[in-house]
Amino acid sequence: TGPLKNPEKWDFDTTGELKDLVVNTSHLPAPFSMTGGKFKLNPDKIVFTDFQTRFLDASLQVSGTLYDYQRGFEKAELDFSGRVTPKDVQWLSDFLAMEHSIQVRSPIRVSKAHLSWRKGAETTFKGDLAMLNGPEISLDVFRNSQELRINNLVIHDEISHAAIGLDLKGQR
């Protein structure tokens, strides 16, 4: 319900299931496709579950919540697993207006990942990464405008194991 010419004042609550959806828009550098997943949509947020997605070169299973989408996505909470490439990581960093402090050079298998992002405020990431023909990485990191905090970073392969924690404040 709500005035037709003012969608921001609409009141609704809908659920559904998507199958074989392709979104092609000038806001994205390539089509975004979903082969399946469930969603719940209301004026404040979009909640989605088990979306099987493809974008650029990435193939991910994603569940999460996008908040304040009518104002341009103010916050996101995402759980995902799958495969990403350096091109995908670069695009996401640009989209989230994050500095490019990490260079990815090979495809990455992602599992048990959780990304929490608030526009202009903070980003956290927890997850397991495995590089193609390379090490496995477990990462728990927090970043805002004043701080980069690596709560836990574990890197291991068949011959080595390293763990680190780090807190950098005011390093911008």
Task: Kindly report, residue by residue over 35-58, the tens digit of the pLDDT.
Answer: 999 999 998 899 999 999 999 999
Residue 1 has pLDDT above 80, yes or no: no
User: Do residues 147 and 169 lie in contact, with contact meaning Cβ atoms separated by under 8 Å?
Assistant: yes
Tokens of 104: 């990815």
* 5 vs 127 pLDDT, higher one: 127
Given a contact cutoff of 8 angstroms between Cβ atoms, the answer to whether 151 and 131 are in contact is no
CB neighbours of residue 105 within 10 Å: 10
Confidence of residue 150 (pLDDT cuts 50, 70, 90): very high
State the Cα–Cα distance between residues 40 and 142, nearest whole angstrom. 28
Centroid of chain to Cα 131? 18
Mean pLDDT of 16-43: 92
Residue that wins the pLDDT comparison between 4 and 67: 67
Binning pLDDT at 50, 70 and 90, where does residue 161 land?
A: very high
User: How open is the CA angle 71-23-122, to the nearest 5 degrees?
Assistant: 40
The pLDDT value recorded for residue 119 is: 86
**Cα–Cα dist 124/118, whole Å:** 9
* 109 vs 136: CA distance, rounded Å: 9
Residue that has been written with the tokens 């947020």 in this structure: 45
pLDDT tens-digit series, residues 74-121: 899 999 999 998 888 888 777 766 665 567 778 899 999 999 999 888
CB count in 10 Å sphere of residue 164 = 9
Q: How many CB atoms lie within 10 A of CB 134?
A: 14
Which bin fits 97, alpha (ψ -120 to 50), beta or left (φ > 0)? left
Nearest C-alpha neighbor of 83 from the set 48, 53, 103, 124: 53
